[in-house]
Chains A and B, each alone.
Chain A
Amino acid sequence: MSNEAVHNRRKLISMVMTTLTAACAVIAIAILTIILTYIGYKGVAAINWEFLVETPKPVGEGGGIGNAIVGSAIMTLLASLIGLPIGIGAGVYLAEFGDKWFGSTVRFVADTLIGVPSIIVGIFVYTLVVLPMTRQSGFAGSLSLAIIMIPIVARTTEEMIRLVPKSMREGALALGAPQWRVTWNIVLPAAASGIATGAMLSIARISGETAPLLFTALNSRFYNFYVDQPMSSLTVQIYNFATGPFEVEHQMAWAATLILVGLILVINILVRMFTKKKY
């Protein structure tokens, strides 16, 4: 082949490959956009003030998901309070001291736990907490969400900490900083935005969980601020609406879904704002 033919061939291949990857990117974005648009289209009609603050009422009498929003918020918050410190702590351990057999065991268990279907976590907490307490509770729901969170947060934290260059640690060690200080005020701040992203993803993940809550938090028709009692959540409420026989309920399911997606979006944006790199 002449030089020019080679050149043209190369240009053609480059063009084809660029187009293919661009097409894949468009498809990925399009799926998300279609889902969001469809949810918006279906859900927006049923959203009004009453829907946001009222509790569920018998079919045909209106009602809303106020208690479910509050319940989801409480359980997600409590799950984060339990899950994030443990997950981040475990991740720090894995990254900084986890080179021995214990570290690789923890890593393996965490990876396995990530792959365990969430309903199994629900059954586990049901046996461990709900049965002894003799009733479902917001706490049991939070606990199962926290259990789902921990391995995800631990592994992302570990990855983010491992990305901090060795030279930065050595710089601090060379100044006479003890190991724990290097971890605490050099490595962690350097990895902070990555760790926050991992935490955010895990929060987004648990706010969409339904299965583990069915066994543990159950549901409630009322506003409930006590975590030792059954608690309503957006996801379980959506499940109830969606499996109901009436069109009005389906409408409400769409609307609640829209709220849930909106809240996850807000969490995403907030965390991104707070973890924007300062230096």
Chain B
Amino acid sequence: MGSKIRIKNMDFFYGSNQALFDISLEIPDRQVMAFIGPSGCGKSTFLRTLNRMNDTIPIARLTGTVEIDGKDIYAPKTDVVALRRKVGMVFQKSNPFPKSIYENVAYGIRINRMHKDRADLDQRVEKAIRDAALWDEVKDRLNTSAFGLSGGQQQRLCIARALAVQPEVVLMDEPASALDPIATQKIEELVVELKKSYTIAIVTHNMQQAARVSDRTAFFMLGKLIEVNPTEKMFTNPDEKLTEDYITGRFG
């Protein structure tokens, strides 16, 4: 299986503060890669470099290369809007728009003009909500406010919203950290299901979660990438002493 994303010698700075140090990493196509590490180690920052979400921070600066499908996404001629359509993102805290459930999912389709007509739009919205395993719960109230959903449903709605624009990569920044165990389980099942069609990068604080959903795991500490390995090896026989200490709970 080829690499979807290839990062080479990436350094990342907030002003004069270096947040990521010389990261080189490949994320294989249609697999789940989990990113673990203690708080403040740069996992989220790293994730946000992959769809250039850090562009919204004026003092952010990146050196090195990030290639998706062999194209450097930080090249000057990159269309950031097209990039973000291709690389979707689900955030730690669910962030539905102040619109109806339907319109939340339709938003990305509309702004990217992906639909032919109203029926096509309906179809795309339904498919995205189905793919996010939310359809049965909301099909009778698509036109009610998204804020009326429970936390777990809101998060799946945000996943549906991200899927609706047919991305190739989905970035998830601790998508289940604010959810109860049952909602978390649903999200995890969904992640496993989604990797058939999408490349997924997921940041998580929960190591069991990383073990359950991911094919490969990357361990970050203090802005450095300590180790990347197949998840099973990572959790049974890691190469690095630091990884073992972290996984076994000796710190962090």
Contact = CB atoms under 8 A, between A and B. Distances in A.
A167 B85 contact: no
A174 B89 CA distance: 6
Interface in A59-89: none
B111 A186 contact: no
Given A172-B107, A175-B108, A165 B95 contact: yes
Interface in A136-178: 165, 167-178
B204 interface: no
A181 interface: yes
Nearest to A166: B56
B161 interface: yes
A189 interface: yes
Interface stretch (B8-16, B31-39, B96-104, B225-233): B96-104
Contacts of B99: 189, 279
Question: Which among A165, A173, A181, A279 has the greatest number of chain B C-beta atoms within 10 A?
Answer: A279
Interface in B69-107: 81-85, 88-89, 91, 93, 95-100, 107
Given A168-B98, A170-B56, A176-B108, 7 more contacts: A167-B95, A169-B56, A171-B158, A175-B161, A177-B107, A178-B81, A279-B145
Contacts of B53: 170, 173-174
A168 B91 CA distance: 10
Contacts of B93: 167
B56 A279 contact: no
Nearest to B165: A175
Most buried by B among A99, A176, A185, A278: A176
B106 to A, nearest CB: 11
B88 A170 contact: no
Interface string B33-57: 0000000000000000001010010
A175 B88 contact: yes
Contacts of A173: 53, 56, 84
B58 to A, nearest CB: 8
A279 B100 contact: yes
Nearest to B158: A171
Contact size class for B? 20 to 34
A190 interface: yes
Interface in A200-245: none
Contacts of A99: 58
B111 A177 contact: yes
A174 B88 contact: yes
5 closest Cβ pairs, A-B complex = A176-B85, A175-B108, A279-B145, A174-B89, A167-B95
Interface residues of A, number: 22
Contacts of B112: 175-176
Nearest to B52: A173
10 contacts: A171-B91, A171-B95, A175-B161, A175-B162, A176-B84, A176-B165, A181-B111, A189-B99, A279-B146, A279-B147
Contacts of A169: 56
A165 B158 CA distance: 16
B165 A171 contact: no
Contacts of B91: 167, 170-171, 174
Nearest to A186: B97
A231 B96 CA distance: 49
A174 B145 contact: no
Contacts of B98: 168, 186, 189-190, 277, 279
Nearest to B110: A185
Interface in A78-134: 99
Contacts of B108: 175-177
A183 to B, nearest CB: 13
Given A186-B97, A279-B99, A175 B85 contact: yes
